[in-house]
């Protein structure tokens, strides 16, 4: 067995053709008969022996093959590629990976749904996740982005409720439409998110035909300590294509792995999908007085005030070699920043910076960063030691800093990019709903969807089919929520939803009738009397329409 260093700066195991290709036990000993088991007697019956190391080892390994799935974004797939600089950005950032036009940085990408469990259909109505790990010479930079430009919360403490409300009911294990809509009725700042979620933008035809957004605001920083805020928009070079709700449901039933399959097959066929990367640059002075809070992830920033500035391209050209090792164990976090790229005071981003790494430690263990996909090109920290499954030996390095016996080199010097001087009292804060929260959803309805034939109607239909399955009192509150966006929108959603609810009620009644009714099977009165049974019906012939005898209905 040989070790090969690949261009990602990672070490992977590669099989050596000169070695014998036979199966071995965990300790490398040859296994002559992998499917046999030691037992007493040579017939099929017989007790198995605990000394059968191979059998016991295989079962123990099977029992431990699974790791906890991600809390969100459990259903996903991955691929390799590169990020290439296409425009100079040195006026706003000193990031090494953006240092010159044409520079390429290796990338691992993972695409996913958000709420679906591992193995769930990929074409369900959902926000798609798109995470990119850039293997720069100054560390791994993680971009954990989404397929729509706005999020559902701006108060981090609401995130557990949002996750619970959009997953299955913990009592029944079933989707709960009442629970879903009741949450959003009580958290109406998410209306912009809802508008995107129930448009066709949330059922893309595949991962390659969807745009990607940072949602949160980050910072570009320079070595002199200056900085600019930035929001990222990653635009698909394949264009945008969406499925209708009916098409998405059909594919979900026929090919639940559709989006993974298409991405894999395109890359395998040499059709390398690509996206161009744009940044909206915001100076701190402008951000301070701008009417929209640039740290509010429920809102977008208009391009007329903050033009999209192209600076990079992402190309995916290689499939994973082992899905579990490389994609399932991939660990992303907004906290993985590099010089030139930094976090902002966005409260949701600040919470994500903690939550992602905490989740990876639970899911993959304390040393998840040593796994192949997660390992940076250069990593040395003698203060970070030991823990379960640690194999990064530090030899005789001092386990403290500074040390008189070990001189550490110095990295490229940066002046600290201090965001702001904070001075205030500690308070319990929760954002308040204002009419401004309905301005951008209204624009999305009146201007954006109106320009695309059929998209307004599709949004109404998509909402109606989902909302109709909620309780009437919850539906009524939801109509009021949509009326705050636009009176006509609320009216149309109410009409379409109640019509759909009536259909569902008729189906329910028909099913009850079917379950509670028995086919009429006439028997002679003599047979019933002979068996000392009650007569099933009149001795007269049944009426033409008396084909069924109904019970309790």
* Residue 290 annotated in ligand binding: no
Q: What CATH number does residue 359 fall under?
A: 2.40.180.10
* Distances, alpha carbon 30 to alpha carbons 53, 58, 248, 270, 459, in Å: 12, 14, 49, 39, 61
Residue among 501, 500, 479, 498 nearest 490 (CA): 479
> Of the given ranges (29-43, 281-295, 462-476, 489-503), which has the lowest mean pLDDT?
29-43
Asked whether the predicted pLDDT for residue 214 surpasses 90, the reply is yes
Assigned domain for 178 exists: yes
Q: Mean pLDDT, to the nearest integer, of 257-266? A: 98
Residues 201 and 122 reside in one and the same domain:
yes
Assigned domain for 409 exists: no
Distance from CA of residue 8 to its chain's centroid? Answer: 24
DSSP 435: G
Assigned domain for 303 exists: yes
Assigned domain for 431 exists: no
DSSP 388: T
Residues 137 and 281 reside in one and the same domain:
yes
Cα dihedral sign, 524-529-533-534: positive
Residues 167 and 81 reside in one and the same domain:
yes
Q: How far apart are the first and last CA of the chain?
A: 73
Residues 56 and 94 reside in one and the same domain:
no
Residues 85 and 203 reside in one and the same domain:
yes
Q: Which of 15, 73, 192, 209 is catalytic?
A: 73
Assigned domain for 279 exists: yes
Residues 31 and 159 reside in one and the same domain:
no
Residues 27 and 169 reside in one and the same domain:
no
Question: Whole domain around residue 1: which residue ranges?
Answer: 1-39+48-65
Please confirm, yes or no, whether 73 is among the known catalytic residues: yes
Residues 142 and 282 reside in one and the same domain:
yes
Assigned domain for 90 exists: yes
Asked whether the predicted pLDDT for residue 359 surpasses 50, the reply is yes
Instruction: Give the pLDDT band (50/70/90) at residue 501.
Output: very high
Tally the domains of the chain: 3
- What global pTM score does this model have? 0.86
Q: Assign 278 to helix, strand or coil.
A: strand
* Distances, alpha carbon 135 to alpha carbons 7, 106, 179, 358, 494, in Å: 10, 6, 41, 21, 50
Instruction: Give the pLDDT band (50/70/90) at residue 517.
Output: low
Residues 58 and 83 reside in one and the same domain:
no
Assigned domain for 543 exists: no
Instruction: Give the pLDDT band (50/70/90) at residue 264.
Output: very high
Residues 490 and 468 reside in one and the same domain:
yes
| Angle at alpha carbon of residue 136, lines to 134 and 139, rounded to 5° | 95
363-398: per-residue pLDDT in tens?
999 989 989 999 998 887 777 777 888 877 777 787
**What angle, 0 to 180 degrees and rounded to 10, lies between the N-to-C axes of helices 455-467 and 472-485?**
160
Residues 185 and 307 reside in one and the same domain:
yes
Which residues, other chains included, contact 483 with Cβ-Cβ below 8 Å and sequence gap of 6+?
A: 489, 490, 491
Cα dihedral sign, 371-328-180-244: positive
Residues 84 and 172 reside in one and the same domain:
yes
């Amino acid at each position: 067995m040989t070790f090969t260093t690949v261009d990602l700066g990672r070490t992977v195991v590669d099989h050596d053709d000169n070695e014998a290709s036979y199966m071995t036990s965990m300790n490398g000993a040859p296994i002559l008969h992998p499917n046999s088991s030691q037992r007493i007697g040579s017939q099929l019956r017989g007790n198995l022996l605990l000394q059968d190391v191979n059998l016991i080892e295989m079962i123990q390994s099977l029992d431990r093959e699974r790791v906890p799935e991600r809390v969100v974004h459990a259903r996903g797939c991955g691929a390799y590629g590169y990020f290439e600089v296409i425009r100079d950005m040195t006026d706003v950032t000193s990031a090494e990976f953006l240092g010159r036009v044409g520079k390429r940085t290796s990338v691992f990408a993972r695409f996913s749904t958000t709420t679906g469990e591992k193995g769930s259909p990929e074409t369900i109505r959902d926000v798609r996740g798109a995470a990119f790990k850039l293997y720069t010479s100054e560390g791994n930079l993680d971009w954990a982005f989404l397929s729509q430009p706005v999020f559902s919360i701006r108060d981090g403490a609401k995130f557990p409720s949002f996750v619970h409300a959009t997953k299955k009911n913990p009592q029944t294990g079933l989707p709960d439409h009442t629970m879903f809509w009741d949450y959003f009725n009580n958290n109406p700042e998410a209306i912009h998110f809802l508008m995107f979620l129930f448009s066709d933008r949330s059922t893309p035809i595949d991962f390659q035909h969807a745009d990607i957004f940072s949602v949160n605001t980050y910072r570009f920083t320079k070595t002199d300590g200056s900085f600019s805020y930035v929001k990222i928009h990653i635009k698909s070079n394949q264009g945008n294509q969406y499925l209708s709700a009916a098409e998405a449901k059909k594919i979900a039933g026929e090919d639940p792995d559709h989006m993974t399959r298409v991405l894999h097959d395109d890359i395998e066929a040499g059709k390398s999908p690509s996206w161009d990367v744009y940044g909206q640059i915001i100076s701190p002075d402008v951000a301070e007085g701008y009417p929209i809070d640039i740290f509010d992830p429920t809102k977008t920033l208009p391009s007329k005030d903050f033009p999209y500035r192209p600076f990079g391209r992402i190309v995916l050209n290689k499939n994973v070699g082992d899905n579990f090792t490389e994609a399932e164990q991939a660990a992303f976090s907004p906290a993985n920043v590099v010089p030139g790229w930094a976090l902002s005071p966005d409260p949701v981003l600040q919470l994500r910076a903690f939550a992602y790494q905490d989740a990876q430690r639970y899911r993959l263990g304390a040393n998840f960063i040593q796994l192949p996909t997660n390992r940076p090109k250069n990593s040395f920290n003698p203060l970070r030691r030991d823990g379960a499954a640690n194999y990064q030996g530090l030899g005789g390095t001092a386990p403290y800093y500074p040390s008189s016996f070990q001189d550490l080199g110095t990295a490229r010097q940066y002046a600290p990019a201090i965001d702001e001087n904070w001075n205030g009292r500690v308070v319990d804060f929760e954002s308040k709903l204002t009419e401004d929260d309905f301005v951008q959803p209204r624009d999305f309805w009146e201007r954006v969807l109106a320009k695309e034939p059929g998209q307004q109607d599709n949004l109404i239909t998509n909402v109606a089919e989902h909302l109709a399955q909620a309780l009437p009192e919850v539906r009524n509150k939801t109509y009021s929520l949509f009326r705050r966006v636009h009176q006509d929108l609320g009216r149309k959603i109410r009409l379409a939803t109640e019509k759909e609810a009536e259909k569902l009620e008729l189906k329910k009644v028909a099913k009850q009738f079917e379950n509670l009714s028995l086919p009429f099977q006439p028997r002679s009165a003599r047979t019933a009397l002979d068996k000392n049974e009650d007569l099933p019906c009149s001795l007269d012939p049944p009426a033409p329409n008396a084909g069924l005898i109904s019970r309790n209905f």
